[in-house]
Chain A
Amino acid sequence: GDSVTQMEGPVTLSEEAFLTINCTYTATGYPSLFWYVQYPGEGLQLLLKATKADDKGSNKGFEATYRKETTSFHLEKGSVQVSDSAVYFCALKWYGGSQGNLIFGKGTKLSVKP
């Protein structure tokens, strides 16, 4: 079945460092891909998404490109801030019924030190 694999954490970076969180997926069709972020004590919120191959999603300085050839959707940010400390989830979504639900990776915890 469809699945999402993302790099294990935790990831600890210094402020202004470059961030990459790897995400790869397995899917029979062409799903949409998402990055959700969970700040401490809160629910998940959408960070960015891409709905077809070669689409780039971007928000708050984060970017991810839907790569069909490598089945990847890696999250990047050029200069992280302490306020980016959170858990990041890569997810995919397909059509209808149970497939209309998100399938999540296990999450990557990011800590940014001043």
Chain B
Amino acid sequence: NAGVTQTPKFQVLKTGQSMTLQCAQDMNHEYMSWYRQDPGMGLRLIHYSVGAGITDQGEVPNGYNVSRSTTEDFPLRLLSAAPSQTSVYFCASSSTDDKWTEAFFGQGTRLTVV
């Protein structure tokens, strides 16, 4: 029972490099989102998607792109990595966006930009 799977678990990038953080879920959830976790800041929403082909920005979208071509996958792209993007990234999914539905989280990707 995989749930939400994120890859890679750890990554070190040089400033200016690009990369894609992968997120896949096998629960047929329509709603997926990306958060970043920084010390003393909690989790902040980067981008979210309410279904295949539909994405929107969250609280801190600058420097990140997303797309949703299938229900299962929701990759997060860093276009030109900056040290300020050093963080732990979590992908989450839920069956709907109504207020009663819990979100399921991946194990996270720890990204360091040097």
Instruction: Please give the residue numbers on chain A whose beta carbons come within 8 Å of chain B beta carbons, in ascending order.
Output: 4, 31-32, 34, 36, 42-46, 49, 51, 89, 93-102, 104-107
Contact = CB atoms under 8 A, between A and B. Distances in A.
Given A46-B102, A101-B33, A96 B97 contact: yes
Contacts of A106: 40-42
Contacts of A32: 99-100
Contacts of B103: 46, 102
A95 B105 CA distance: 19
Interface stretch (B11-19, B43-51, B79-87): B43-51
Given A43-B107, A98-B48, A101-B58, A107 B42 contact: yes
Contacts of B101: 93
* Most chain A C-beta atoms within 10 Å of own C-beta, residue among B31, B100, B103, B106: B103
Interface of B: 4, 31, 33, 35, 40-45, 48, 50, 56, 58, 90, 92, 94, 96-103, 105-108
A97 B106 contact: no
B43 A102 contact: yes
Contacts of A101: 33, 45, 48, 58, 97
The main secondary structure of chain A at its interface with chain B is mixed
B107 A42 contact: yes
Contacts of A36: 105
A35 to B, nearest CB: 11
Contacts of A107: 42
Nearest to A31: B99
Contacts of A95: 97-99
A29 to B, nearest CB: 9
Contacts of A49: 102
3 pairs of A and B residues whose beta carbons are closest in the complex? A100-B97, A43-B105, A104-B42
Nearest to B91: A43
B45 A98 contact: yes
A97 B42 contact: no
A96 B98 contact: yes
Nearest to B31: A100
